[in-house]
A and B are shown apart, each in its own frame.
Chain A
């Protein structure tokens, strides 16, 4: 069982992750269709971009303040860091890149271990804030169910166990086994749970036409 989880199940979970996401993308395009909108999310005239570094920066900050970042600056900063690190830490952590070289001979860029460690800590801190928010903020608590706690745990577990394994806290063999298992659980659940927002954020915000589309949004349900 342990050999299966540390061996074949890794490949199976990656396959489920990739095929699951492809299926979701296929279903999205099959149940939406292109539509000519009677209005477009475009400005009336082309805005002039200010020249010069400082003016450009001020213009950028001003436009950011009109977004959700303006109304929730700390939360959005934490969310951005959380999602950014959740992507780059597993990609560039030394332990993974060494395994990649060992398995397939591929040399991949790796962060210094202290950097990966620091990024993981920031990520876990953001996760803790999300958990506390879910427990203590009334507006989040009313829409929270056990499912939300489970998904948050599934998301953080690979990073908690990875952190413990790197620092060799507790029995290393057990912690590494749990790290692999939690990573597989996360990969398998991404396409079929709310973690699918990983791909659907882009599909909805870029393809579906609405006031909040990032681009023209030429599709509709």
Chain B
């Protein structure tokens, strides 16, 4: 199957999506106290020998956190990089526990929506060969 033509990143669309949920997302990002208590609740973290890149807080800070920090001014390479975080490193099982009550899966799902809006998503046809991280 031939590669689909990649459309250019629509930064205005990304900014619009970020603004739409700014009230919730920026609050949740700012109220994360970086305690790492969420780590052991993620089975992927436990299964990967407690690799910190699978920590729920790490996943959110490195994906959605960076999107807000850059105010949506990102390129395709950035989105391809966080694709691995939000699709491979998280399966949205909702098992993650946060003592503050931060909705980590909601933030990951939102990041996926942003990626999808720019045509960045895991390939469903054939065996994936790309290295996501």
A interface residues (Cβ-Cβ under 8 A, vs B): 27-28, 31, 68, 71-72, 75, 134, 137-140, 142-144, 148, 193-194, 196-197, 200-201, 204-205, 208, 210-213, 221
**Known contacts A204-B102, A210-B103, A194 near B31 by CB under 8 Å:** yes
B50 within 8 A of partner (CB): yes
- A197 close to B23 (CB less than 8 A): no
A138 to B36, CA, bound (A): 10
B9 within 8 A of partner (CB): no
CB contacts between A and B, total, < 8 Å: 72
Most buried by B among A27, A140, A208: A140
- B94 close to A211 (CB less than 8 A): yes
* Closest residue of B by beta carbon distance from A203: B101
Additional 18 contacts, C-beta under 8 A, given A68-B97, A208-B103: A31-B23, A68-B37, A68-B99, A71-B40, A139-B39, A140-B34, A140-B36, A142-B53, A143-B36, A143-B52, A143-B61, A196-B30, A196-B31, A197-B33, A200-B27, A212-B97, A212-B101, A213-B101
CB proximity of B63 to chain A, nearest CB, Å:
13
* Closest residue of A by beta carbon distance from B99: A68
Query: Which residues of chain A come closer than 8 Å to B94, judged between CB atoms?
Result: 211
Query: Which residues of chain B come closer than 8 Å to A148, judged between CB atoms?
Result: 34
A205 to B40, CA, bound (A): 19
B100 within 8 A of partner (CB): yes
B98 within 8 A of partner (CB): yes
Interface of A is mostly: helix
Query: Which residues of chain B come closer than 8 Å to A196, judged between CB atoms?
Result: 30-31
B57 within 8 A of partner (CB): yes
- B24 close to A72 (CB less than 8 A): no
A144 to B37, CA, bound (A): 13
CB proximity of B45 to chain A, nearest CB, Å:
8
B35 within 8 A of partner (CB): yes
Query: Which residues of chain B come closer than 8 Å to A31, judged between CB atoms?
Result: 23-24
A-B contact pairs, 12 of them (CB 8 A): A27-B27, A139-B50, A140-B34, A143-B52, A143-B55, A143-B57, A148-B34, A197-B33, A201-B101, A205-B101, A208-B101, A213-B101
Query: Which residues of chain A come closer than 8 Å to B27, judged between CB atoms?
Result: 27-28, 200
Residue-by-residue, is B96-133 near A (CB-CB < 8 Å gives 1, otherwise 0)? 01111111001000000000000000000000000000
- A197 close to B31 (CB less than 8 A): yes
A37 to B24, CA, bound (A): 19
CB proximity of B53 to chain A, nearest CB, Å:
8
- A200 close to B52 (CB less than 8 A): no
Other-chain residue from A139, A193, A204, A213 in contact with B36 (beta carbon distance below 8 A): A139
**Known contacts A27-B23, A142-B58, A143-B57, A194 near B101 by CB under 8 Å:** no
Q: Which residues of B in the span 15-43 have a Cβ within 8 Å of any Cβ on A? A: 23-24, 27, 30-37, 39-40
A221 to B31, CA, bound (A): 15
Query: Which residues of chain B come closer than 8 Å to A137, judged between CB atoms?
Result: 36
- A221 close to B106 (CB less than 8 A): yes
- A72 close to B52 (CB less than 8 A): no
A208 to B97, CA, bound (A): 14
**Known contacts A139-B52, A142-B52, A197 near B100 by CB under 8 Å:** yes
Query: Which residues of chain B come closer than 8 Å to A68, judged between CB atoms?
Result: 37, 97, 99
